[in-house]
A and B are shown apart, each in its own frame.
Chain A
Amino acid sequence: MSLRTIAEQDLATILEDGVTGFGWPITLTAPDGTVGALTGFSDDIAQVIDPDTGQAVSGRLASAALRTAAITAALPGKGLPVGIADAASKPWLVAFDDINGNAYTFKVAQSNPDRALGLVTLLLELYTV
């Protein structure tokens, strides 16, 4: 088995261990409404934004990291999540709870797939369902 294949298997252990690791339940919804239950990393942290006026605005940075293989298994034939710019279409949605159990739903604004390792990082923005 190549080191690269081993690395992808390690990724499963690192990302999806929700018992002793940092794995966290994440729901991924495709534009056609198909829902997949996955485990991965989720982030929702404070960040300062400068809209170029010189005045800081408190903001949030939300992201999720998921295994490519897990996505294709949970949502077969849907492809990898991407940011949907077309207002006439439904976006890919990501939902997860914070550590205190508050639920949040996000739209996938940008996806950064790493096809070498089989990992996709999703940059998220707030979404009103």
Chain B
Amino acid sequence: MTVLATLIDKQDNVEILRDQIAAILVAEVANQMALATGAAKDPADWKLRIFTERSNPWEQFIDPNEVGFDPSPLVNIWVDNMNYDPKASNVMERQKTEAVYNIDCYGFGRSANVLAGGHTPGDQEASFEVQRAVRLVRNILMAAENTYLQLRGLVWSRWPQSINIFQPQLGENTAQQIVGARLAFRVVFNEFSPQVVPETLELVAVDVIRTEDGEIVLEADYSYPLTP
């Protein structure tokens, strides 16, 4: 037996927030690059490439000799889990939701000659790159202006639950150095569900009158007997 009269044609807020996190990061990274240019610094040091819900293998780092190769860190935002708090919800309409988004960052490093002497080790470079990426992401999302992720009224709070930086495993002596880091980002917000579509039984017009002594009096007109 079907009871829902309307098509569920919407995104849940957990999806909207995932896209909102990505949109904030894309906009702020571009802004940071512009600010770096204005401060006579290399904007590439502020560049991140933002993705959502990607699970295909990254191929960007496979051949640094390719034309157009971009060594900027990758950021992938994906929904990990959601928990619903019944104490702060109601059974009809609204569920207070606590979602964890994994914001995975990937830093690429390549050993390079230093003309003045020595070299830059690729393993260290990859770690520095991924730490730079996760630093930017945390600072942007935890900025005071983003307390409610620019969705005040929907978002209760956001918090960086943890940051894990993964050392390359023993035996993975790959030609390119890649280090991953995960920022587990917790967001508390309202999730809504479809409601009963109300049916009009009778239209009632009411005049509200405040008397001299402050008493409120309602005056309504009914047609009687009620028309079906």
Chains A and B bind each other: yes
* Other-chain contact of B175, A59, A91, A128 (Cβ < 8 Å): A59
Shortest Cβ distance from residue B120 to the other chain A in the assembled complex, whole angstroms = 6
Shortest Cβ distance from residue A110 to the other chain B in the assembled complex, whole angstroms = 6
* CB of B6 closer than 8 Å to a CB of A: no
Query: In the complex, which residues of chain B have a beta carbon less than 8 angstroms from the beta carbon of A90?
Result: 113, 117-119
* CB of B227 closer than 8 Å to a CB of A: no
Given known A-B contacts A55-B76, A125-B177, A126-B111, A49 and B62 have beta carbons under 8 A apart? no
Q: Which 3 A-B pairs have CB atoms at the shortest separation, nearest pair first? A: A51-B180, A52-B166, A128-B112
Listed in ascending order, the chain B residues whose CB lies under 8 Å from chain A are: 54-55, 57-59, 61-65, 76, 102, 104, 106, 110-114, 117-122, 124, 166, 168-169, 172-180, 182
- On whether the beta carbons of B178 and A44 are closer than 8 Å, the reply is no
- On whether the beta carbons of B118 and A86 are closer than 8 Å, the reply is yes
* CB of A20 closer than 8 Å to a CB of B: no
- On whether the beta carbons of B61 and A57 are closer than 8 Å, the reply is yes
Chain A residues 41 to 74 lying within 8 A of chain B, measured CB to CB, are 44, 46-53, 55-62
* CB of A104 closer than 8 Å to a CB of B: yes
- On whether the beta carbons of B118 and A58 are closer than 8 Å, the reply is no
Shortest Cβ distance from residue A5 to the other chain B in the assembled complex, whole angstroms = 31
A106–B175 Cα gap in the complex (Å)? 8
- On whether the beta carbons of A49 and B54 are closer than 8 Å, the reply is no
A124–B112 Cα gap in the complex (Å)? 13
A86–B119 Cα gap in the complex (Å)? 8
* Other-chain contact of A87, B63, B120, B168, B175 (Cβ < 8 Å): B120
Shortest Cβ distance from residue B130 to the other chain A in the assembled complex, whole angstroms = 9
- On whether the beta carbons of A48 and B57 are closer than 8 Å, the reply is yes
1/0 contact string of A16-55 vs chain B (CB within 8 Å): 0000000000000000000000000000101111111101
Q: Given contact pairs A53-B106, A57-B58, A60-B176, enumerate 7 new A-B contacts (beta carbons under 8 Å).
A: A48-B57, A57-B178, A58-B61, A59-B175, A60-B62, A88-B118, A123-B173
Some 28 contacts from A to B, beta carbons below 8 A apart, are A48-B57, A52-B166, A55-B55, A55-B106, A57-B58, A58-B58, A58-B59, A60-B62, A60-B174, A60-B175, A85-B121, A88-B117, A88-B118, A89-B119, A90-B113, A104-B65, A107-B111, A107-B122, A123-B173, A125-B111, A125-B122, A125-B176, A127-B110, A127-B113, A127-B122, A128-B64, A128-B110, A129-B113
- On whether the beta carbons of B177 and A87 are closer than 8 Å, the reply is no
- On whether the beta carbons of A47 and B174 are closer than 8 Å, the reply is yes
Query: In the complex, which residues of chain A have a beta carbon less than 8 angstroms from the beta carbon of B76?
Result: 55
- On whether the beta carbons of A55 and B54 are closer than 8 Å, the reply is yes
Query: In the complex, which residues of chain A have a beta carbon less than 8 angstroms from the beta carbon of B179?
Result: 51
- On whether the beta carbons of A91 and B111 are closer than 8 Å, the reply is yes
- On whether the beta carbons of A128 and B118 are closer than 8 Å, the reply is no
Query: In the complex, which residues of chain A have a beta carbon less than 8 angstroms from the beta carbon of B104?
Result: 53, 55
* CB of A80 closer than 8 Å to a CB of B: no
Query: In the complex, which residues of chain A have a beta carbon less than 8 angstroms from the beta carbon of B173?
Result: 61, 109-110, 123, 125
Query: In the complex, which residues of chain A have a beta carbon less than 8 angstroms from the beta carbon of B64?
Result: 126, 128
A66–B194 Cα gap in the complex (Å)? 69
